């Protein structure tokens, strides 16, 4: 009998689930290794089934989400969060920085009927998470390596080196040094293949903080480029704003924030 896996969606855009569908022929090979019993995006529905590995995309944003994630945890051996939303609250965690109730009142006539928590949170704040796959979105290689490793009882190796190292390997010109573009590559973990810098764009921090990130030094470098404090704060308050590294550096540059 093949091991069973499930892919669950919470508050998210579905982008990380596409990492499975984008596998193409590798998805067929994956299906030879495991039984995918729940994956609504692909048509399989068995949300309460017992599985070896449960992949979870999306942040916890409603009371119903809390009930569901507790059930997912009870029904799996390994719980793996995939993507920025599940690992760090995602872009929707930006509402944690303001009075979200005020926004709801401006949009909905009866916001009290909405099942909304006070903040958008990563999964680990509610249940034990065995492995976190960072990225916005994660890549297909991460998914395959994770399944293979866990099925053999081993945790997959995860790189925490910086995007800058990937740029060097690919001989990409540094956009921060040569163009003065405020790039988050020096503090962001690699995993994307340095996609944006390779095309002359700045890194947006999709894969979260790298190992030993010196965010304070990068913030000062941004100031040296001419960015005003609010612009510097906004560079860190993006896809992974709920991570401690990026949030604290943003607070340092937020006007009126107490040290």
**Is residue 93 within 8 Å of 125, Cβ to Cβ?**
no
The total number of structural domains that make up the chain: 2
For all residues of the chain together, what is the average pLDDT? 91
Instruction: Give percent of the chain above pLDDT 70.
Output: 98
CA 37 to chain centre: 24
Instruction: Give percent of the chain above pLDDT 90.
Output: 67
Residue 158 lies inside a defined structural domain of this protein: no
Split at pLDDT 50, 70, 90, the class of 157 is confident
pLDDT at 159: 83
- In three-state secondary structure terms, 138 is coil
Does 128 share its domain with 35? yes
Does 100 share its domain with 211? no
Of 104, 126, 151, the one marking the end of a domain is: 151
CA 145 to chain centre: 18
pLDDT tens digits along 162-198: 999 999 999 999 999 999 999 999 999 999 999 999 9
Residue 104 lies inside a defined structural domain of this protein: yes
Indicate whether 25 pLDDT > 90.
Answer: no
**Residue 31 belongs to what domain range?**
4-151
Of 98, 124, 151, the one marking the end of a domain is: 151
Residue 258 lies inside a defined structural domain of this protein: no
Closest CA to 13 of 206, 231, 250: 206
pLDDT at 19: 85
CATH number, domain at 83? 3.40.50.700
pLDDT tens digits along 126-146: 999 999 999 999 988 888 889
pLDDT at 257: 61
Helix (H) or strand (E) holding 57: strand 51-57
Does 170 share its domain with 131? no
Does 133 share its domain with 200? no
Indicate whether 256 pLDDT > 80.
Answer: no
Does 144 share its domain with 170? no
Does 146 share its domain with 212? no
Q: How many CB atoms lie within 10 A of CB 134?
A: 25
Give the 3-state secondary structure of 212-224: CCCHHHHHHHHHH
Burial of 123 (0-12, 13-18, 19+ CB in 10 A): buried
**Is residue 73 within 8 Å of 128, Cβ to Cβ?**
yes
Does 55 share its domain with 168? no
Indicate whether 205 pLDDT > 60.
Answer: yes
Q: Which two tokens stand for residue 71?
A: 């059930």
Does 21 share its domain with 107? yes
Indicate whether 258 pLDDT > 60.
Answer: no
Contacts of 188 (CB under 8 A, 6+ apart): 162, 163, 203, 205, 206, 207, 208, 209, 210, 213
Q: How many CB atoms lie within 10 A of CB 16?
A: 30
Instruction: Kindly give the residue spans of alpha helices, DSSP state H, lying in 89-207.
Output: 100-107, 140-151, 163-169, 175-179, 195-198
């Amino acid at each position: 009998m093949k091991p069973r896996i499930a892919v669950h969606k919470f508050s998210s855009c579905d982008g990380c689930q596409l990492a499975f569908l984008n596998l193409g022929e590798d998805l067929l090979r994956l299906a030879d290794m495991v039984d995918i019993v729940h994956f609504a995006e692909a048509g399989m529905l068995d949300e309460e089934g017992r599985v070896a590995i449960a992949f979870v995309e999306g942040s916890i944003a409603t009371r119903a989400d809390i009930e569901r994630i507790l059930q997912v945890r009870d029904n799996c051996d390994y719980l793996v969060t995939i993507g920025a939303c599940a690992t760090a609250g995602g872009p929707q965690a930006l509402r944690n920085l303001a009075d979200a109730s005020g926004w709801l009142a401006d949009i909905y006539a009866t916001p009290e009927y909405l099942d909304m928590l006070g903040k958008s949170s990563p999964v680990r704040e509610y249940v034990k998470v065995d492995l976190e796959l960072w990225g916005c979105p994660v890549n297909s290689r991460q998914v395959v390596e994770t399944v293979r490793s866990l099925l053999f009882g081993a945790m997959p190796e995860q790189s925490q080196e910086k995007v800058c190292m990937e740029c060097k390997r690919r001989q990409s010109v540094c956009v921060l040094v040569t163009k003065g573009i405020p790039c988050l590559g020096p503090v962001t973990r690699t995993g994307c293949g340095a996609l944006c810098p390779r095309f002359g764009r700045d890194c947006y921090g999709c894969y979260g903080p790298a190992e030993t990130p010196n965010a304070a030094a990068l913030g000062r470098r941004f100031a040296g480029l001419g960015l005003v404090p609010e612009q510097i704060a906004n560079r860190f308050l993006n896809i992974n704003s709920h991570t401690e590294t990026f949030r604290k550096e943003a607070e340092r540059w937020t006007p009126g924030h107490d040290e």
